[in-house]
Chain A
Amino acid sequence: MWTTRPDGQLAVRSGSRRLFDLRGTLTGPYDCRGMAIQLPGLTTGCGLRHYLRTVTVIATESLSKRFPRVTALDRLSVDVGPGVTGLVGANGAGKSTLIKILLGLSPATEGRATVLGLDVATKGGDIRERVGYMPEHDCLPPDVSATEFVVHMARMSGLPPAAARERTADTLRHVGLYEERYRPIGGYSTGMKQRVKLAQALVHDPQLVFLDEPTNGLDPVGRDEMLGLIRRIHTDFGISVLVTSHLLGELERTCDHVVVVDGGKLLRSSSTTDFTQRTAILAVEVTDTDEHPDGTDALREVLHARGIDTHDGSGLPGAGHILLLTAQGEETYDLVRDAVADLGLGLVRMEQRRHHIAEVFTDSDEQAARDAEAQAALKDGDEQRKEAVGHGG
């Protein structure tokens, strides 16, 4: 993640990261990160950090949104703390609807929600002053430069002209736009446009940003850079992030916490480590040597002998050369390393495989089935919906 930073300022920054984080939360009259934690007696950094983790940035309580024909959100109750939170769901799962409600732009049919401690139903304007939003779709006029556009958006957020210009220059630099920011946006690549969209969401120094599918349309390198940038929004800038995606795999690396929704319902909300620990799959690729003309096969046998089941990932790219195995814990890594070393093979790669959202749905399928049994007494409509959720993946 750190290597993606394009301006090479990384080494200097990372050392002071934590301190900066703290200072960011403590200074500034408009700083809600500070507001929420002004408890008497809480003066030490440790206590503060601890408290920060327990404070809620977004809270919804049986939040529902029904349109005449569709139920976009169905009694969604979720608490989101500071940090980077991923909101995962298939298209039409209710992600964008949720963001609209949280911005105070669309009233919920029932239930309530708070953002930064402010009620979305009554304090929409206050929320929008402290929150940034990066939409999923294209939203940039092609005939103005990034600087002009972001300055204008900063002023729309209430920044005085001089501050708007200064913040624009800063923010564009932070998202990695340099000389090109003076050229019309029409000539930008998709990656650069995404950075401009991100810059306009950050330019007024919000306490929380909603990023709707920020990696859409990016190539793998652009995707990695964007994910690194998102991570930095929290670690360096001290801004909490709610990022949506339909790919669990890419959020896994970036987020502290992942919320999975489907059909407007909460499927799962847990910290990212829970996800990875439960379902870590390793992909291993080795070289062939004269001694072992088929290195992959040799390794498979050795691992099998040591009690690890592997499969060859048929159907995936590189099938036949890549071994997939389920990691039980830290010791699995050591085992593979030793096995490879003993055989004298070269280890080309050993990496965690990204999970597809389908895996989560498969897991929750079982959960839903159990729930359905337990609540069999409930009325039919309810059960049907559960079934629908179960098969959503």
Chain B
Amino acid sequence: MAVEQPQAQAQAHAPAPAPARAGEQTRIHNIGYRNYDGPRLGRAYARRSLYSQSLRGAYGLGRSAKTKVLPMLLFVVMCVPALIMVAVAVATKANDLPVDYTRYAIFMQAVIGLYVASQGPQAVSRDLRFKTVPLYFSRPMETVDYVRAKYAALASALFMLTAAPLLVLYVGALLAKLDFTDQTKGFAQGLVSVALLSLLFAGIGLVISAVTPRRGFGIAAVIAVLTISYGAVSTVQAIAYEQSSSDAVAWLGLFSPMTLIDGVQTAFLGASSAFPGGAGPSTGEGVVYLIFVLGLVAGCYGLLLRRYRKVGL
């Protein structure tokens, strides 16, 4: 609505007012209700929009300042050790980086666990807790679209978190004039490893968060499953190693997400295992590890679909 001031009364007395001005008086332009006849971009667009909104949300972008603190802090914490390592490597003119690309995520797993625990519930629990979910499903979007967008968003956010320090390491290694082929190969293996890790951790984090609308429970449960299971498995593995049953060490690795990733990258990505004794699974066992990882990812996706099918309206 806009109000146009009348032209000065004097104008009316002007000898020859311009024809365009003739009818001009105070007018209230009421825009009223306007119909929308522009494009409607449908499901795929809605899914993309939800994806980008969730991905931004995972780093607190487009949300309040308070919510930016934790993800940004974790991102920095994730990258700082890489920067230090690079600085040391450059300064000491070392022949190799102090840590493998594939090892870095295992090294920093507490940070990753914290990130999943804080952002997983943020991604799905809010919609459940404030009952916003029915609003999505009363639109062209289907359950599949919602789940895919949310899953992809958290996995992408995790990938950024885990791949960024690898990029720092790689750039640093090239600056330190380390062997290009070696470093590129290591970097590529590292990326594949963290991509797998992102998918797996995002799936587990989302399934746990989607079960409980309470954020606190979600956070605690995710930390328990990701971090505590690693501690437990490592301990039992250490005991098995002391008892010198190295077979058991390899199979025990199937029971925590981090050791699963460790096993897969040891078998296929040329990583040195973090298992006690450095004895990771053989290639044969590695296949079982890979199947386990892919099965878990698919299982998480399926569970999410089932969860949201029930929510409906």
Chain A interface residues toward B at CB < 8 A = 7, 9, 12-13, 16, 20, 24, 27-31, 96, 99-100, 103, 105-106, 125-126, 128-129, 131-133, 135, 137-144, 148, 152-153, 155-160, 163, 167, 170, 174, 184, 200, 204-205, 236-238
Contact = CB atoms under 8 A, between A and B. Distances in A.
Given A30-B37, A139-B130, A158-B46, A152 B140 contact: no
Nearest to A127: B140
Given A133-B134, A163-B39, A238-B35, 7 more contacts: A13-B32, A128-B140, A133-B135, A138-B131, A139-B134, A157-B139, A205-B35
Contacts of B168: none
A7 B43 CA distance: 36
Interface in B25-48: 28, 30-43, 45-46
A103 B140 CA distance: 10
A237 B33 contact: yes
A153 B46 CA distance: 9
Contacts of A158: 39-43, 45-46, 139-140
24 contacts: A12-B28, A13-B30, A30-B37, A96-B313, A99-B313, A100-B313, A105-B137, A129-B140, A135-B131, A138-B131, A141-B130, A141-B132, A143-B67, A148-B62, A152-B53, A155-B53, A157-B46, A157-B139, A160-B41, A160-B45, A163-B39, A170-B34, A200-B135, A238-B35
B33 A236 contact: yes
B158 to A, nearest CB: 23
B95 interface: no
B141 interface: yes
Given A156-B46, A158-B45, A105 B37 contact: no
Tell me whether chain B's interface is mostly helix, strand or loop, or mixed. Answer: loop
Interface of B: 1, 28, 30-43, 45-46, 49-50, 53, 62-64, 67, 126-127, 130-132, 134-142, 312-313
A20 B140 CA distance: 28
Contacts, number: 133
B131 A137 contact: yes
Contacts of A24: 33, 35
Contact of A125 (B43, B49, B53): B43
A17 to B, nearest CB: 9
Nearest to B146: A156
B162 to A, nearest CB: 27
B160 to A, nearest CB: 22
A159 B37 contact: no
A376 to B, nearest CB: 40
Nearest to B39: A160
